Amino acid sequence: MRLLGTTSHDSLSVSHPESMYDCDYSGLLGVVLGNEAHGLDPEAPVDGWVTIEHAGRSESLNVAMAGTVFAMHVAHQRSGQP
């Protein structure tokens, strides 16, 4: 199982985060969401980082909203629909 850490924080100092639009979500997958204020610790023991892009002036998404957006995107990709 791959474990992905998610972030919508522009300033997160992790190496090579991948856009949620470019990530492959096949196979067994675990997802870790950080809190709204600080996100996940950059040292979190995850296999990779996925960014959840958003528009607007906010620094981050509410964690419930981020989880919803991410889960819907994964489900859409796994369905095979464009």
Are 8 and 50 in contact, with CB atoms under 8 Å apart?
A: no
CATH number of the domain at 52, please.
3.40.1280.10
Domain that holds residue 29: 2-79
pTM: 0.79
Of 43, 15, 49, 14, the closest CA to residue 31 belongs to 49
What span, in angstroms and rounded, lies between the C-alpha atoms of 66 and 7? 9
pLDDT digits (tens, 9 = 90+) for 8-57: 665 556 777 899 999 999 999 999 998 877 778 888 899 999 988 777 77
Domain count, the chain: 1
What span, in angstroms and rounded, lies between the C-alpha atoms of 61 and 48? 20
Query: Which residues are registered as beta bridge partners of 3?
Result: 30
pLDDT digits (tens, 9 = 90+) for 55-77: 777 766 788 988 998 999 999 99
Pairing of strands 18-19, 48-51: parallel
